[in-house]
DNA sequence: CTCATTTTGGAGTGGCAACTCCATTCCGCG
DNA sequence: CGCGGAATGGAGTTGCCACTCCAAAATGAG
C-alpha cells in the first residue's frame, strides 16, 4: 500500500520512539495493576495518569480512548498470566509437571492473599457482554492459555502415559474451567481451598486415564 | 460515595405497605435484570428508575444508596438462581438426578444464547474486591448453592451409591467451581461446550466413585 | 373522620470522569 | 544545525450520574 499518506486512526502501526514506547508501556502497566485491583469501570483514566505519572494528552496520544487502553491491558495481562505460570506451562507433559504447575498457581494465589482472582477472567466477567471486540480478544487469550494444556496432555497420551481413549482436548478444557471457577470462589472466600479442590479434582480425573 | 455521613438511611423502615412492598420488588427485579445484562457499574440508578417505572425519590426511599440496592440484587438473584435449578437441586441424590440437573443448566444457557454468565458469579468477579459487605453476601449465596450439592452427594454415599472413601464435600465444591468456570468460558465463547465439558468432567469423576 | 405515616413526584446539584485542544518541548535525521 | 514529526503539559469542556430536597398525595390505624 502507498505510504505517502498517514493513515491516522485506521493504522494501528504508529511510529514510536524508544521513549514513546517506554511511556506507552508504563501506562499499560499502571492500568493493568489498577484494573486488577478494582476492575475496569472502577478504574478511572485519571487514576491511570497519576499511577503512571503521565498527563492526559500523553495517555490519549497513545490510546484513542479508554476502550482501546483496556484492550491493551487485556493483551498485557495475557502475557503476564502465561509468564506467571513459568516455562512449565509449555511442558505440562507429565504428572510431576502438572503437580508443580498446580503448586505454583496455589502459591501465587496465597501470596496474593487470595485477592484479585484471575487477571483475565475478571475482565471477562465484567465486560464480555458490552464490548464485542474485547470479548474476541479474551477468547483469543484463553485459547493461548488452553493450547499448552491441550498439547501437554496430548504429548502424555502419545507418549503412553495416558490411555489412548483419553480425550485430552476435553480434559484440558475442563481443567481450565475448573481453574477459573476455583479462582472465583477462592477470591470470594479468601482461602485457596476452592482453587486447590477444583484443580486437584481435574488432575484426579486425568490420573484416572493413566495408562 | 460523595459523603460518608453516618447512615441514617441505614435501616429502611420495616413497616412497608403492600403497595410499598410491590414497588420495592419492582425496583429489585428491574435492577437485577439490568445488572445481569450490563454489570453493576454500568447499570445506572436512572436506568433502574426507568425500567421499574419509579421516581428517584421512590428508589432512595426503599434503598439508601446504590450499594444497598446491589446487595438486595444479590439476595434476589440468589433466590432466582436456586429456583432456576428447580426442585431437583434439593434432591441431587442419584446419577439420574445429576444428569437431569446438568441438562437443565445447559439448556438454560443455550436458551440465553450463552449470554450473561452466572448472575451471582458475574457480580462476584466485579465487586468482590471493592465491597466487603457484598462479598460476605456472595459467600453466603454460594454456600446456599453448595449445600444441596454436598447433601445430595452425601446421601448417595450413605445410600451406598458411592463408595465410602468418596470425599463428597470435596466433590461438591469441585463441581460448583467447574460449573462457574464453565459458565465464564461459555459466556466468552458463546458455546455451551465449555460448560458441558466442565460439568461432565466433574460428573465423570463422581461416577468414578460409584460403588 | 383524623392524623400520623408511608409513598410518590420531579426538578435540581455537585462532583467526577472521559475526552479535547493548543502550545511547547524533545528527538531523530539529513 | 535546522526541520518535521513525536512527545508532553495542563487547563478546559461536556455530559453523566449518584444523590438531595421539598412538597403533595395515598394509606391505614384508632
Q: Write out A115-172 in H/E/C secondary structure.
A: CCCCHHHHHHHHHCCCCHHHHHHHHHHHHHHHHHHHHHHHHHHHHCCECCCCCHHHHH
pLDDT of residue B86: 87
CB contact under 8 A, A125 and B129: no
CB contact under 8 A, A128 and B198: no
Q: Are residues B182 and B85 in the same domain?
A: yes
Grid coordinates in use for B138?
456472595
Q: Contact at 8 Å (CB) between B119 and B110?
A: no
Q: Are residues B178 and B91 in the same domain?
A: yes
Nucleotides of D under 7 A from a protein CB: 5-12, 16-23, 26-28
**A32-67 pLDDT, tens digit each:** 999 999 999 999 999 999 999 999 999 999 999 999
What distance in Å separates the CA atoms of residue A28 and residue A49, rounded to the nearest whole number?
10
Q: Among A74, A92, A127, give the residue marking a domain's end.
A: A74
pLDDT of residue B6: 34
Count Cβ atoms within 10 A of the Cβ of residue A58 and give its class: 0-12 exposed, 13-18 middle, 19 or more buried. middle
Footprint of strand D on the protein (CB under 7 A): A 6, 14-17, 19-21, 23, 54-58, 61; B 1-3, 5, 9, 17-19, 43-46, 56-57, 60, 65-67
- Computed on alpha carbons and rounded to an integer, the radius of gyration of chain A in Å comes to 20
Q: Are residues A64 and A96 in the same domain?
A: no
Grid coordinates in use for B139?
459467600
Return the CATH number at B147.
1.10.357
Q: Closest by alpha carbon to B184, among A127, A69, A116, A49? A: A127
Grid coordinates in use for B46?
436512572
Measured between beta carbons, the chain A residues lying within 8 angstroms of B42 are 41, 130
- Please name every residue paired with B166 in a beta bridge, in sequence order, or none if there are none: none
Return the CATH number at A29.
1.10.10.60
Q: Are residues B70 and B128 in the same domain?
A: no
- What Cα–Cα distance (Å) separates residue B140 from each residue in A38, B109, B149? 22, 24, 15
What backbone phi and psi angles, to 5 degrees, belong to A96? -65, -45
Whose CA is nearest the C1' atom of nucleotide C18?
A: A45
- What Cα–Cα distance (Å) separates residue B177 from each residue in A31, B80, B189? 29, 19, 18
String of DSSP letters for B41-97: TTS-HHHHHHHHT--HHHHHHH-SSHHHHHHHHHHHHHHHHHHHTTGGGGG--SHHH
pLDDT of residue B190: 98
What distance in Å separates the CA atoms of residue A173 and residue A183, rounded to the nearest whole number?
15
- Report the percentage of chain B scoring pLDDT > 70: 93
- Please name every residue paired with B210 in a beta bridge, in sequence order, or none if there are none: B162
Q: Are residues A124 and A135 in the same domain?
A: yes
Q: Among A74, A100, A122, give the residue marking a domain's end.
A: A74
Look up the domain containing A11 and give its range: 4-74
**For residue A177, pLDDT beyond 80:** yes
Q: Are residues B43 and B109 in the same domain?
A: no
**B43-71 pLDDT, tens digit each:** 999 999 999 999 999 999 999 999 999 99
Q: Are residues B44 and B24 in the same domain?
A: yes
Q: Are residues A66 and A82 in the same domain?
A: no
Q: In a 3-state reduction of DSSP, which class is residue B22?
A: helix
Our measurement of CA B58 to C1' D26, in angstroms, reads 14
Dihedral in degrees, nearest 10, Cα atoms A203, A92, A139, A30: 110
What distance in Å separates the CA atoms of residue B97 and residue B86, rounded to the nearest whole number?
11
Q: Contact at 8 Å (CB) between A97 and A156?
A: no
- Report the percentage of chain A scoring pLDDT > 70: 93
- Give me the residue label for grid cell 484463553: A142
Please list the alpha-helical segments (H only) found in chain A.
Answer: 18-38, 45-52, 56-62, 66-84, 95-111, 119-127, 132-159, 168-189, 193-207
pLDDT of residue A19: 84
Average pLDDT of the segment spanning A116-145 = 97
Option in B116, B135, B177 nearest A181 (CB): B177
Smallest CA–C1' separation from B55, nucleotide: C9
Our measurement of CA B145 to C1' C7, in angstroms, reads 36
Q: Are residues A65 and A155 in the same domain?
A: no
Grid coordinates in use for A133?
471486540
**For residue A152, pLDDT beyond 70:** yes
Distance of alpha carbon B169 from the chain centroid: 20
Q: Closest by alpha carbon to A126, among A55, A77, A56? A: A77
Q: How many domains does chain B have?
A: 2
Q: Are residues A100 and A13 in the same domain?
A: no
- Report the percentage of chain B scoring pLDDT > 90: 90
What distance in Å separates the CA atoms of residue A104 and residue A135, rounded to the nearest whole number?
28
**For residue B10, pLDDT beyond 60:** no
What's chain A's average pLDDT? 93
Our measurement of CA B101 to C1' C13, in angstroms, reads 51
Option in A142, A183, A193 nearest B185 (CB): A142
Whose CA is nearest the C1' atom of nucleotide D21?
A: B57
Average pLDDT of the segment spanning B123-137 = 96
Q: Among B53, B74, B95, give the residue marking a domain's end.
A: B74
Q: Closest by alpha carbon to A173, among B123, B185, B116? A: B185
Q: Are residues B64 and B114 in the same domain?
A: no
Average pLDDT of the segment spanning B7-35 = 79
Q: Are residues B188 and B201 in the same domain?
A: yes
Q: Which contiguous run of DSSP H or E holds residue B145?
A: helix B132-159
**For residue A1, pLDDT beyond 50:** no
What distance in Å separates the CA atoms of residue A186 and residue B110, rounded to the nearest whole number?
27
**Choosing among B118, B185, B187, B190, which should be mutated to test the A contact, i.e. which has the most A CBs within 10 A?**
B185
pLDDT category of residue A14 using cuts at 50, 70 and 90: low
Amino acid at each position: 500500500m502507498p505510504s505517502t499518506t498517514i493513515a491516522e486512526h485506521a493504522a494501528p502501526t504508529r511510529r514510536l520512539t524508544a521513549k514513546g514506547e517506554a511511556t506507552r508501556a508504563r501506562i499499560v502497566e499502571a492500568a493493568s495493576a489498577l484494573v486488577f485491583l478494582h476492575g475496569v469501570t472502577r478504574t478511572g483514566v485519571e487514576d491511570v495518569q497519576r499511577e503512571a505519572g503521565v498527563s492526559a494528552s500523553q495517555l490519549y496520544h497513545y490510546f484513542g480512548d479508554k476502550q482501546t487502553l483496556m484492550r491493551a491491558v487485556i493483551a498485557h495481562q495475557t502475557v503476564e498470566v502465561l509468564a506467571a505460570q513459568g516455562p512449565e506451562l509449555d511442558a505440562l507433559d507429565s504428572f510431576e509437571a502438572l503437580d508443580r504447575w498446580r503448586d505454583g498457581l496455589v502459591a501465587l494465589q496465597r501470596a496474593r492473599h487470595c485477592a484479585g482472582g484471575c487477571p483475565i477472567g475478571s475482565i471477562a466477567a465484567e465486560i464480555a457482554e458490552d464490548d464485542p471486540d474485547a470479548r474476541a480478544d479474551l477468547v483469543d487469550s484463553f485459547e493461548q492459555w488452553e493450547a499448552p494444556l491441550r498439547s501437554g496432555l496430548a504429548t502424555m497420551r502419545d507418549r503412553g502415559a495416558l490411555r489412548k481413549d483419553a480425550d485430552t482436548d476435553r480434559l484440558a478444557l475442563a481443567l481450565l474451567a475448573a481453574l477459573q471457577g476455583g479462582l472465583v470462589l477462592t477470591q470470594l472466600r479468601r482461602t485457596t481451598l476452592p482453587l486447590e479442590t477444583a484443580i486437584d479434582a481435574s488432575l484426579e480425573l486425568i490420573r484416572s486415564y493413566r495408562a
